[in-house]
Structure 1
Amino acid sequence: MKTPLLQYPIPTIFNPKVCRHLCLSTYRLVPTHSFYCMKPPYTLLLLCSLSTQLALGQATQTLRGRVVDKESKFPLVGATILVTTADKGIVADTSGTFRLAGVPVGRHTVKVSLVGYKDALLNDIIIDAGREKILDVELEEEIRQLTAVTVQAQRTGEARNEMAVVSARQFSVDETNRYAGSRGEPARMASNFAGVQGADDSRNDIVIRGNSPQGVLWRVDGVSIPNPNHFAIAGTSGGPVSIINNRYLANSDFFTGAFPAEFGNTIAGAFDLKLRNGNNERHEKMLQFGFLGTEAMVEGPLSKKSGASYLATYRYANLWLFSKLGIDIGTQAVPAYQDGFFRLNFPLKKRNGESGGSLALWALGGTSTIDILISQQEVKDRNIFGQNDRDQYYTSRMGAAGLTYTRPLNRQTFLKATLAVSGNAQDANHDYLFLRKDGSGNPLVQNSRYVIDSLRPILDYRFSEVCYALSTYVNHKLSARATIKAGLNTDLYHFKAFDSVRTFVDVNFTRFTPWRTRWNTNEAFALVQPYVSYRNRLTENLTLTAGLNALWFTLNNRSLSPIEPRLGLSWDLPGRQKLSLATGLHSQVQPVYAYFYAEDLNSSTDAAQLANRNMGLTKSWHYVASYQRLLGRNIRVLLETYYQRLFNIPVERERSSFSLVNAGASFSRVFPGPVANTGTGRNYGVELTVEKFFSNNYYFLLTGSLFDAKYKGSDGVLRNTDFNGRYAFNALFAREFAFRRSSLTLGFKYTATGGRWYGPVDERASRLNQEVIFQNEGRNTMQFAPYRRFDLKADYKINRGAIGRRGLTHTVSVDLVNVLGVQNILSLSYAPQPDGSIIKQEYQLGFLPIFLYRIDF
């Protein structure tokens, strides 16, 4: 009987194309993919392997991971993993894991297949010498015998969530690094997708299909988290710099409409972020220095025997470099921030030979501080992050920690539960600048600075919110055709807020009003969201998804949405085409702080002043149709059209143009008067995506959107929303030049969008409130000039490594944002000027070079 030499396929030992003439007669393959030796020339095989490596001079690395069933997460024994671009392959073992050594550094395509399952085709898998590549692959079961059908492969970019049939996309860590101008952030990366546009250069808020950025939901490991950005303002979902570091993310999903039933409390979009585990076999490190921060990351095994692992990161801001180099970041103040993350993962013991699941403890968070001292700035200095008539001291904090339990209960059922606590806080103090006046009554300027007479406190506020969350679901595969998923998301909030302000009695700026308390709250309430989803592949080409979500916000009796139906249908057509339809009812609670705002809590009974406490939910019906076609092997064309009907939007009870659909994309809070849920809105549009996946050393992405977003306030007038740019276009391209041990990638991005809307300014009201107040009648009848930006990006990577020695990867990256220095209008700001004017036109950031150096080892 012939004895197996190694339980790996031939390509893991040597390259047959190079050594075929030496040892072609020494081996044969059998269906079990084992290697059997007829005449075992061990020395010859070793010489073949070494000579191949040395002849090529190619640094290599290990590719490993795990293959599981998509629904039950049960390991798939015998799955074949083939690196098609390197002629290497391997078979998953009894726990679904695989390990393929000696993969050349560079970009590769990986095909994963198993009889009875659809193939998974993973493009643009980057192998570096300094870090092992770990893949977690999920295969979808085929509903008919392989002999009767041609299996269609699932490709990179398709959403991981099997309940999503439209408006969903998977993104990877490599994608967040790839796009010029994205700064490695998920939100800025997503602004390149069709139907999505950035709010402005100074923030990473995203506008999805004309909706307010405050309608975007962030989730980590199934639980919702507060705004994950530094310098975050209550009621927003974005900020100048993300706390989320892409280096600890696994492949995640991004949704722009008609969400599956598990996503509640959002009407605009959702980030469903997945956390990765640290390397459980080898200790790895990363150091990075750049303009946006100095970073360090470590990961490795806690126990090689059990497979437990750790991963930790830390970043500290380097924005003082911008100030030293004279680079414009919109303010002379130097922001300071730091953030970090850790994850400990413990595999659980197997039961009865089945997969044991895991228990993971994780935490992320950050803190940020900025002191904008107008009193120490020159008259010409810009300040797009605050008001121009006061010194401002601001601190924000955000954090989340959780315990995640996952276990395949059997070959059909998977359980996941996350228990988490999160919190965020903002603390601000403002001192108003009283300026000396000249003989004409205008501010006195000496040595290019205003002459300050005195500084007096004008604002003091502290907001804090703590949330205790439980997210759990069970996914059960009823058959090869049908899957059901049922879960519960529960959040218990504790909100504390205090805000005290004083304004001027008249427009002469001589006397203050007494201090007024606008917030003084310490309350607890809950948000409960049960859901159920069902998926059935009616035929090989036709898939139905259906679900129900319910939402109950316990703060008042008007925030209950007992039934929110979701429905989707996907039809695979001949010629690698797909047609999809989806609809759903979605609702969202208002920013928490808005429920407790009052004009003056000191004037009468506090309870009577909380006129907004009974605000109901904002709701929206989504209708989406999608057509997709694959051209050739690597080009995808996607066309989507949608209609959204928004209703129950909070608007002021008195006749006005105010609506909360315009909030959520600035550094200011909203101060609504008594409101009612009588506002409406509607968004519709069409989106086109043409994408070439990375192959033949280049890729491109073209996205275009035509849309219209309008609303009605309490005055009943149909107006443009602030975000109704009407069109958005993005073009991205990158070309990689690969060398023996290094590579150079050059890319660009061009963006063009319609300008923001505004209206005539009410100068008297603006003077009294020290902020821009628009006239009701002409609101959003005027539009800023279109936005244009051109970015360049260059990455140079060097891989160092030798056989049997640990490798190193050096990366130098330069991202030239707005390389042409185009002056795009940002907004109007309240800024008293020497000539007596009070309104100033602010511009977006100009040319912004971002540099980093990273070493992985």
Structure 2
Amino acid sequence: MKYISSLLFFFCFHSAFAQTSLTQTVRGRISDKESKYPLSDVTIQVLTTSSTGITAGALTDSSGRYRIPNVPVGRRTIRITRIGYKEALLNNIIVDAGRETILDVDLEEAITELASVTVKAQRTGDARNEMAVVSARQFTVDEADRYAGSRGEPARMASNFAGVQGADDSRNDIVIRGNSPGGVLWRVEGVSIPNPNHFAVSGTTGGPVSIISNKMLANSDFFTGAFPAEFGNGIAGVFDLRLRNGNNEKHQRTLQFGFLGTEAALEGPLSKKTGSSYFVTYRYANLWLFNKAGIDIGTQAVPTYQDASFRFNFPLKNNARLAFWGFAGTSTIDVLISEQKVSDRNIYGQNDRDQYYTSRMGVVGVTYEKPLNRRTFLRATLAQSGYVQFTHHNYLFFENDADGRPVVENDRYKITSQAKVLEYRFADTKTSLAASVNHKFSPRSTLKVGLNADVYHFNFVDSARNVTILPNLPTQLEPWQTRWNSRQSALLVQPYVQWRVNLADRLTLSAGLTSLYFSLNQNSFSPIEPRAGLAWDLPNRQKLSVAVGLHSQIQPTYIYFYRFNQQSDPSGGQFSRDLGLTKSWHYVTSYDWLPGRNLRLKMEAYYQKLFNVPVEEQSSSFSILNTGASFSRVFPGRMVNKGTGRNYGAELTLEKFFSDGYYFLVTGSLFDAKYKGSDGVLRNTDFNGKYAYNAVFAKEFTLGRNTLSVGAKFTAIGGRWYGPVDEAKSKAAQDIIYQTANRNTLQFPDYRRFDLKVDYKLNRTRLTHTIAVDFVNVLGIQNILSLSYAPQPDGTFIKREYQLGFLPVFYYRVDF
């Protein structure tokens, strides 16, 4: 902290002597939103801070390209206009001295050009996907960097939006409208991908650190409900990520060092003549620095990880483009209880064993895009993806005293021996194709037809043996049991059609149909899933929208092959191989108002009906809706699709776009999420916090050619639900076992967190330095995470585990 403060003081002092003449080039390409055909004679203007004057401008050429040199560094507002198209107004565009600002923008064609009609402008935050009507928002890389507490990740950034909350400080899972994080679909360049996070666990969509570098992302979309027909195999939300091309005129480099790793990014032209470009990144992290600095990360174990990404873009004839891209990551952590002290924190594993864990994930793909003519656009992506997770556990035999309690010496448990009790390797590879054709019949009508297909290859192997603990008897290790041993393949196919038509000058209909087929069993077929949305533009920059849709999703793939009841079943176990799809109806209504040029108010109300939810065949409180937000797999008995759930709520967003040196975002949601297991009891889901509130604010100060940004975030969320502990079963299993009948009748205290971020940027000739510190949970508030099994010398074994405390995330970056 002292070192960081000294650096900030030096930079602020140094800025007093800075000159203010630094500029940079803003350039890019403007295309039609539906056909992607390049647009000529488009006017691009860089506005002053008051958004009334113009500092610079340019027109696009026949290929849709423009260039504006000598734009002063800082945050700028860009206005883009063309006769026959809706105006685009882009706030908070960062112009740095160290790299060119490249803005590729799609314009939406206007229905009418009559002077008596006010054409609605495209604004910052409007979704890229023209078929989306409600519950959709575009986000930028800058937002992931800008919001306090986001740590530069899209998922953590999205937790600021209305109806969205994080599941755990140590992970970036997101809970959307009370749904399980497992219901979120991740897509990159149109294809679905496995969990894109380090230390990922099967059945989850989050993790501690993202593998995807935010430096590689272009503007992308995030959906929280009633999404268009092209998005299948997801019931909660969608991250639809796009990757950006490298600079095709200048070589640019980024170097970054921080608590979360050392990173490098390189981009530039492969051929200036053809306009081809490259972009590559690499990051390595070893979090020993946290331990050395005495920073609590929830365990004394040292996580290590590394990841890399690339994109090579090749312009072809007739405005076609071909891109080769990919990213991959590997991560390892060994949680060794045998080497820890009794007083050490350990929220990532069990307290009776040493755990060795490694995960790897990667995707490579090729994307082809081509405007076939001025009204038709073809896009296709072929990709290969996969993940592998492997681990083994060694059970620890503790020395006990005469009363049966563990012996402690020098703050360490005395361990007499170890024995391996678990070993598994889960691998899932997938070949994916996403192809679509957009055809614009007229400014009023656009049709999109496409196909998403995935060929899965599963390889799941897992063996374990139980530990039996009886009073006054030695601990016994049971025989090994094979819980998974499956090598299977399956096909998932999702065709769709989506039509967008303007029924009148201010009334837009978006309607679509999709279908989902999973070949693993005959129950995983959803023949028709209708989606529809209606948007009505009202006077005074208001809009009213409604949407409805049927959505479905396959189960976490490892669930299908789990063998259970092996001791009572002479065939070697049973499966839930015949599980069908989880389904959900979404109903959403939305009101959007722009009361000022840089102010937006949005309200949404929704109802979600979930059915065909997997629950246990025997009467119990288990439901798949409560899974997907931890570092553990689930081990249910035989499951059937007889569970239900329902979520409803209301959301409010008040947002001021960046202008006059500051911005803010205030979101609030009230909701109720409940489910029924096979016992027929209506209960709170684990994620039914009842309410969520976020307030984000940032102020930027211009100091000559440099800028100082100070941002803050406050979060308040209702506590997670749990139930009374079954003490007898917990002692026998040496793990926390809750009473089934009273599940989720108790609630942890409400969650509170205050984050602060300081960002100082120095612009020099063709060089930009950035030093930033994200003070996560700056007040050190103790929020309860869970209960864990932790035998103590006094005979107690139930321990409250707390989420992460104060966590300063520091980085220094240079762009040149």
TM-score, scaled relative to structure 2: 0.96
In structure 2, distance between residues paired with 1:419 and 1:191: 31
Identify the residue that residue 380 of structure 2 maps to in structure 1.
417
Identify the residue that residue 782 of structure 1 maps to in structure 2.
746
Correspondent of 2:445 among 462, 473, 482: 482
Q: Is the contact made by 1:517 and 1:600 (CA closer than 8 Å) also made in structure 2?
A: no
Identify the residue that residue 75 of structure 1 maps to in structure 2.
38
Correspondent of 1:98 among 53, 66, 79: 66
- 1:720-739 maps to which residues of 2 (within 5 A)? 720-739=684-703
831-840 or 377-386: bigger deviation:
831-840
1:696 Cα offset (Å): 0.3
Correspondent of 1:192 among 160, 185, 190: 160
Q: Does 1:682 align with 2:646?
A: yes
1:58 Cα offset (Å): 1.6
In structure 2, distance between residues paired with 1:219 and 1:56: 44
1:631 Cα offset (Å): 1.3
Given residue 457 of structure 1, which amino acid in structure 2 is its aligned partner? K
Correspondent of 2:263 among 295, 298, 307: 295
Q: Is the contact made by 2:46 and 2:78 (CA closer than 8 Å) also made in structure 1?
A: yes
In structure 1, distance between residues paired with 2:708 and 2:623: 49
1:616 Cα offset (Å): 0.6
Identify the residue that residue 822 of structure 1 maps to in structure 2.
781
1:602 Cα offset (Å): 8.1
1:320 Cα offset (Å): 1.1
Q: Does 1:345 align with 2:309?
A: no
Aligned residue pair count? 793
Alpha carbons of structure 1 residues 507 and 635: separation in structure 2 relative to 1, 3 Å: farther
Identify the residue that residue 266 of structure 1 maps to in structure 2.
234
Give the root-mean-square deviation of aligned CA atoms.
Answer: 1.3
State, as a whole percentage, how many aligned pairs show the same letter.
67
Identify the residue that residue 663 of structure 1 maps to in structure 2.
627
1:56 Cα offset (Å): 7.3
What secondary structure is seen at the aligned counterpart in 1 of 2:487? strand
What secondary structure is seen at the aligned counterpart in 1 of 2:468? coil
- 1:452-851 maps to which residues of 2 (within 5 A)? 452-508=415-471, 510-599=475-564, 609-801=573-765, 807-851=766-810
In structure 1, distance between residues paired with 2:731 and 2:194: 34
Alpha carbons of structure 1 residues 229 and 507: separation in structure 2 relative to 1, 3 Å: farther
In structure 2, distance between residues paired with 1:631 and 1:797: 32
In structure 2, distance between residues paired with 1:619 and 1:790: 37
Q: Is the contact made by 1:491 and 1:527 (CA closer than 8 Å) also made in structure 2?
A: yes
In structure 1, distance between residues paired with 2:148 and 2:178: 24
In structure 2, distance between residues paired with 1:392 and 1:252: 37
Identify the residue that residue 7 of structure 2 maps to in structure 1.
none
1:771 Cα offset (Å): 2.5
Q: Is the contact made by 2:18 and 2:705 (CA closer than 8 Å) also made in structure 1?
A: no
Identify the residue that residue 51 of structure 2 maps to in structure 1.
none
Identify the residue that residue 253 of structure 2 maps to in structure 1.
285
Query: What are structure 2's unaligned runs of at least 5 residues?
Result: 1-16, 49-53
Given residue 850 of structure 1, which amino acid in structure 2 is its aligned partner? V
What secondary structure is seen at the aligned counterpart in 2 of 1:276? coil
Q: Does 1:166 align with 2:134?
A: yes
Q: Is the contact made by 1:225 and 1:400 (CA closer than 8 Å) also made in structure 2?
A: yes
Identify the residue that residue 398 of structure 1 maps to in structure 2.
361
1:766 Cα offset (Å): 2.5
Q: Is the contact made by 1:116 and 1:146 (CA closer than 8 Å) also made in structure 2?
A: no
Alpha carbons of structure 1 residues 424 and 621: separation in structure 2 relative to 1, 3 Å: same
1:601 Cα offset (Å): 5.5
In structure 1, distance between residues paired with 2:314 and 2:566: 51
- Cα displacement string for residues 33-54 of structure 1 (whole angstroms, at most 9, x for unaligned residues): xxxxxxxxxxxxxxxxxxxxx9
In structure 1, distance between residues paired with 2:749 and 2:107: 48
In structure 2, distance between residues paired with 1:98 and 1:507: 77
In structure 1, distance between residues paired with 2:574 and 2:385: 26
- 1:135-150 maps to which residues of 2 (within 5 A)? 135-150=103-118
What secondary structure is seen at the aligned counterpart in 2 of 1:144? coil
In structure 2, distance between residues paired with 1:609 and 1:114: 66
Identify the residue that residue 19 of structure 1 maps to in structure 2.
none
In structure 2, distance between residues paired with 1:764 and 1:62: 69
In structure 2, distance between residues paired with 1:771 and 1:545: 50
Q: Is the contact made by 1:620 and 1:647 (CA closer than 8 Å) also made in structure 2?
A: yes
What secondary structure is seen at the aligned counterpart in 1 of 2:729? helix
In structure 1, distance between residues paired with 2:495 and 2:643: 27
In structure 2, distance between residues paired with 1:437 and 1:632: 70
- 1:4-19 maps to which residues of 2 (within 5 A)? none
In structure 2, distance between residues paired with 1:600 and 1:306: 63
In structure 2, distance between residues paired with 1:600 and 1:149: 69
1:728 Cα offset (Å): 0.3
Q: Is the contact made by 2:564 and 2:575 (CA closer than 8 Å) also made in structure 1?
A: no
In structure 1, distance between residues paired with 2:711 and 2:215: 21
Given residue 102 of structure 1, which amino acid in structure 2 is its aligned partner? N
Alpha carbons of structure 1 residues 152 and 657: separation in structure 2 relative to 1, 3 Å: same
1:148 Cα offset (Å): 4.5
Q: Does 1:854 align with 2:807?
A: no
Q: Is the contact made by 2:28 and 2:65 (CA closer than 8 Å) also made in structure 1?
A: yes
Given residue 114 of structure 1, which amino acid in structure 2 is its aligned partner? R
Given residue 440 of structure 1, which amino acid in structure 2 is its aligned partner? D
1:151 Cα offset (Å): 2.2
Q: Is the contact made by 2:230 and 2:497 (CA closer than 8 Å) also made in structure 1?
A: yes
Identify the residue that residue 313 of structure 1 maps to in structure 2.
281
Identify the residue that residue 350 of structure 2 maps to in structure 1.
387
Identify the residue that residue 108 of structure 1 maps to in structure 2.
76
Identify the residue that residue 329 of structure 2 maps to in structure 1.
366
In structure 2, distance between residues paired with 1:762 and 1:556: 37
What secondary structure is seen at the aligned counterpart in 2 of 1:229? coil
Q: Is the contact made by 2:276 and 2:312 (CA closer than 8 Å) also made in structure 1?
A: yes
Alpha carbons of structure 1 residues 348 and 604: separation in structure 2 relative to 1, 3 Å: same
Which protein shows a greater Rg?
Answer: 1
- Cα displacement string for residues 173-222 of structure 1 (whole angstroms, at most 9, x for unaligned residues): 11000100000000000000000000010110000000000000000000
Alpha carbons of structure 1 residues 716 and 65: separation in structure 2 relative to 1, 3 Å: same
1:146 Cα offset (Å): 4.6
- Cα displacement string for residues 368-404 of structure 1 (whole angstroms, at most 9, x for unaligned residues): 0000000000001111111111000000000000000
- Displacement over 6 Å in runs of 4+: none
Alpha carbons of structure 1 residues 438 and 609: separation in structure 2 relative to 1, 3 Å: closer
Q: Does 1:122 align with 2:81?
A: no
Identify the residue that residue 15 of structure 1 maps to in structure 2.
none
Alpha carbons of structure 1 residues 347 and 527: separation in structure 2 relative to 1, 3 Å: same
In structure 1, distance between residues paired with 2:649 and 2:27: 43
Alpha carbons of structure 1 residues 357 and 602: separation in structure 2 relative to 1, 3 Å: farther
Identify the residue that residue 12 of structure 2 maps to in structure 1.
none
Given residue 528 of structure 2, which amino acid in structure 1 is its aligned partner? I
Identify the residue that residue 247 of structure 1 maps to in structure 2.
215
Given residue 679 of structure 2, which amino acid in structure 1 is its aligned partner? D
Q: Is the contact made by 1:115 and 1:146 (CA closer than 8 Å) also made in structure 2?
A: no
Q: Is the contact made by 1:290 and 1:318 (CA closer than 8 Å) also made in structure 2?
A: no
1:774 Cα offset (Å): 1.1
Identify the residue that residue 11 of structure 2 maps to in structure 1.
none
In structure 2, distance between residues paired with 1:348 and 1:358: 5
TM-score, scaled relative to structure 1: 0.91
- Cα displacement string for residues 470-516 of structure 1 (whole angstroms, at most 9, x for unaligned residues): 00000000111000000000000000011111112344461111001
In structure 2, distance between residues paired with 1:763 and 1:319: 36
148-157 or 560-569: bigger deviation:
148-157
Identify the residue that residue 276 of structure 1 maps to in structure 2.
244
1:777 Cα offset (Å): 1.2
